[in-house]
Amino acid sequence: MKCTEHMHRNFAVKKILGISVPIIFMIVSLASLAGAVTIKDIKSDEDVFAYVDRIKGEFDQTLYQQVIGAANPFKEGDATIKVAADDDTTREYARKLLANTTIEDIHEHPLFVDELQKLIWKTTDQAQYEKVKKMTMGELKEFILTKNEADIKGIMFGLNSDVIACVPKLMSNAELTQVGQKIFNILPGTNLGAKGYLAARIQPNSPTDNRDDIQWQVFNAFSFATGDLLLGNNPVDSSVESVHSVENALSDILKTFKLEKTMPWCVLAHIDVQEKVEKKYPGSTALFFQSVAGTDQANTIFGVSNESLLENARSRKGQHYGLYFETGQGADFTNGAGNGFDMVVHESRKYGLSRAIEQELEKVQPKGAWMHVNDVAGFIGPEVFTSREQLVRCCLEDIVMGKLHGLVHGLDICSTLHMTVSLDDLEWCQDQIVPANPAYLMALPTRNDPMLSYLTTSFQDHVRLREEFGFKVNDAMWDFFKRIQIIDEAGKFTEHAGDPIWVYYQYLLAKGDKRSKEEIYAEGNTKIKEVVGRGVDLALGHGEKISDIEPELNKRIHALYDDAKISLWAEFTPEFVKTIPNTLEISTKSKDRAEYIAAPASGEVLSEAAVATLEKLRASWDGNNPDVQIVISDGLNAKALMDEGHLLPYLSTLTKDLKAAGLTVSEKNIVVTSGRVRAGYAIGNVLFAKGDPAKAATLINIIGERPGSGHHNFSVYIATPKGKVWQEKKVNHEIVRVISGISDTALPPEDAAAETMRLLQKMKSE
């Protein structure tokens, strides 16, 4: 079995570290259950509210939240929020209480009240609600399982998000799949979201936002007849000019092939940045993207509000394309906004927000609103959940909740490298999930994202899933794949399958290029070598079946996975630290590497000893802090900094350039053990707490990236606000700039130092 290989890889890690990954997660999970929910007995006809009243003597919001959360299958994130059942008996009792509870009671007693909840109430169909409010949740479950799509759509818009969140709590995986197979919400004028169709969002990410990296991944996708929903890139640099450049790289392909009315493009920068790009370069954007959360508090952290999102919808008046939101269980509590209720309810509230925004969009798009939601199900990591079974459960829950909200809902069936879900496990997960017919999945050349270093669906996974489950591609794009001769008139792959140079050849012909096929192929081979040389793998060719990855590439991808598992557990050695000049060593509250990986929040908070050490350094500055403080953090891959030719060339070049620019640099290089990005902000909060509030104070955090690319890349996070911002502790991701993909085999460290100076000077002038 494939999972046996995964066990062997974990065993290899065990021999190196002396502890296995599964055991680590078990220890953390059990520790998290210290505040778990226990329900010892219930009465046969008792509902949630009667139980809470009996136990507390009156209604108690906290216990209400706990009982609703306890009905979920176990996930680590719910345990952290302290709403997870402590055993199966409690879980079963919670479900029985919930099944006896009416829709009306849940509607009128939300798990959490804020402006978002009020918007959800306002945009829930009142007439449909009146039809069902007296139903119990158990009756609603049976209605959804036994009635047809038309009947369900006749009541589902009367269900608010808390009610919809309670539906999957009462269903098995098989029942969730059954529901997914009968509710379909379709993007206007397409087959996207329709029964029997499985679309793909091509995700052509580049560690350096390189145009060729991006475009060749699109050519590669088209060579497997994959990609019909969106060309959507996650940018490294979210500045207006850089985002515009990537928008052009994507739109150029679609416009050249005359597909701009068939398929949109999007650069997943913050929505405010996308608006600025569109304002400065009208027509350069197609779909606006934004990550959204399930509470006002969490959305504030994301830099948006209900009203700003509604206004974004209004701004798409007359546009052919609209909005694209991303969500995911766990994003709220990992950003400090758990608010005492479970992850399924949080996720459902995100869909309630999306439904409200879609209603606003429909007012300004007479031909129908183009909007969809992508559930990035496993991106955060083991603090949310750890196993492949939990990933499947999460995806099935979210498919049903998304469909019941009336949304076109897709998935990123993904895992991070610090979860126990392997490359090969993902195929098993896909096979459990896609029968529920999500609207779409992600699509990469291989399952490993070259920039984000996480695992998701490959181009050839799409080919396999279409073959095995009978799914189809949006008709308009299927016609295009026939036009460029990837698919023949009988609907079968041609000899050009898996050949991105053929697609490049068709692209240049469409541009009017008069060179011979041989000349273009020679150029294509050169470009492919350059792209792969920058750490962006392409799926060139295939195995015996077109859905099989080419054998040598498959070996390489698995070798990268094995290397990533080892890199993830690496730690700075004393010998390495001695090579860094003038070090000041501190640590976070992570007591060891195991806790750091399984409980990331521990790596964001400085230990008491670290704070004392930093305060002593600050005192030595006597109120006159240097312009720049450099921080060196291990992050998720200490090897990224310890490899020869990585940190020291960057550090020496940067220090020299900073001083040449007239900036004073702290004499101490702060080295952080078990340090995450937010630990850098915490360091700045301490060091710059008493400086000149009007003077810019720069912190440069050099940190090991998620492993997985084989390059052992590191990133640099640059913050340079006024001292006042540090003193008010307002430094966050929104005002920080990052340079990623730095290594001797990707972005050279010396070049990265020059780019750091360029960005720093630009940030200071803004």
Please say if the pLDDT value at position 26 is more than 50: no
Q: Which of the listed residues 170, 198, 232 is the one where a domain comes to its end? A: 170
Q: How confident is the model at residue 35 (pLDDT cuts 50, 70, 90)?
A: low
Q: How confident is the model at residue 601 (pLDDT cuts 50, 70, 90)?
A: confident
Higher pLDDT pick, 359 / 318 = 359
Residues 6+ apart with CB under 8 A from 404: 144, 152, 156, 159, 164, 167, 179, 183
Does some domain include residue 157? yes
Do residues 664 and 624 make contact, with C-beta atoms less than 8 angstroms apart?
Answer: no
Concatenating the DSSP letter of every residue in 45-58 gives T--HHHHHHHHHSS
Concatenating the DSSP letter of every residue in 337-371 gives --TTS-HHHHHHHHHHHHHHHHHHHHHH-TT---E
Q: How confident is the model at residue 710 (pLDDT cuts 50, 70, 90)?
A: confident
Do residues 290 and 268 make contact, with C-beta atoms less than 8 angstroms apart?
Answer: no
C-alpha 646/C-alpha 580 separation (Å) is 12
Does some domain include residue 422? no
The percent of residues above 70 in pLDDT, for the chain, comes to: 95
Residues 6+ apart with CB under 8 A from 72: 78, 83, 84, 85, 91, 169, 342, 343, 344
Q: pLDDT (tens digit, 9 = 90+) per residue, 539-579?
A: 999 999 999 999 999 999 999 899 999 999 999 999 999 99
Mean pLDDT of 124-139: 98
Helix axes 343-364, 115-122, angle to 10 degrees: 60
**pLDDT at res. 3:** 32
Do residues 520 and 513 make contact, with C-beta atoms less than 8 angstroms apart?
Answer: yes
**pLDDT at res. 2:** 29
pTM of the predicted model, to two decimals? Answer: 0.89
Q: pLDDT (tens digit, 9 = 90+) per residue, 227-267?
A: 999 999 999 888 899 999 999 999 999 999 999 999 999 99
Q: Which of the listed residues 145, 170, 195 is the one where a domain comes to its end? A: 170
CB atoms within 10 A of CB 583: 14
3-state secondary structure at position 453: coil
Q: Which of the listed residues 170, 194, 211 is the one where a domain comes to its end? A: 170
CA nearest neighbour of 477 among 206, 202, 195? 202
**pLDDT at res. 709:** 75
In whole numbers, what is the pLDDT of the chain averaged over residues? Answer: 93
**pLDDT at res. 348:** 98
Q: pLDDT (tens digit, 9 = 90+) per residue, 656-682?
A: 999 999 999 999 999 999 999 999 999
β-pair type (323-327, 288-291)? parallel
Q: pLDDT (tens digit, 9 = 90+) per residue, 419-442?
A: 889 999 999 999 999 999 999 999
Extended beta strands in 117-264, E state:
199-202, 230-233
| Consecutive H or E run containing 526 | helix 517-533
**pLDDT at res. 12:** 25
Q: In which region does residue 406 sit, left (phi positive, over 0), alpha (psi from -120 to 50) or beta (all else)?
A: left
Q: Which two tokens stand for residue 595?
A: 């806790």
Q: How confident is the model at residue 319 (pLDDT cuts 50, 70, 90)?
A: confident
Q: Which domain holds residue 45?
A: 32-170
Residues 6+ apart with CB under 8 A from 766: none
CA angle 114, 119, 124 (to 5 degrees): 130
Burial class (CB in 10 A: 0-12, 13-18, 19+), 290: buried
CA nearest neighbour of 597 among 417, 355, 727? 417
Please say if the pLDDT value at position 185 is more than 80: yes
DSSP at 112: S
Q: Which two tokens stand for residue 300?
A: 């504030």
Does some domain include residue 43? yes
Residues 6+ apart with CB under 8 A from 490: none
Q: Going edge to edge, which strands form the sheet with 288-291?
A: 265-267, 230-233, 199-202, 440-443, 409-412, 371-376, 323-327, 288-291
Does some domain include residue 603? yes
Mean pLDDT of 485-491: 97
Please say if the pLDDT value at position 653 is more than 50: yes
Please say if the pLDDT value at position 29 is more than 50: no
Q: pLDDT (tens digit, 9 = 90+) per residue, 64-107?
A: 999 999 999 999 999 999 999 999 999 999 999 999 999 999 99
Does some domain include residue 653? yes
C-alpha 557/C-alpha 232 separation (Å) is 23
Does some domain include residue 267? no
Do residues 62 and 82 make contact, with C-beta atoms less than 8 angstroms apart?
Answer: no
Q: pLDDT (tens digit, 9 = 90+) per residue, 383-424?
A: 999 999 999 999 999 999 999 999 999 999 999 888 889 999
Please say if the pLDDT value at position 10 is more than 50: no
Does some domain include residue 138? yes
The percent of residues above 90 in pLDDT, for the chain, comes to: 86
Do residues 468 and 483 make contact, with C-beta atoms less than 8 angstroms apart?
Answer: no
**pLDDT at res. 83:** 97
CATH of the domain at 103: 1.10.220.70
Does some domain include residue 431? no
Give the number of domains in the chain. Answer: 2
CATH of the domain at 607: 3.40.50.11240
Mean pLDDT of 9-25: 27
- Give φ, ψ of 31 to 5 degrees: -65, -35
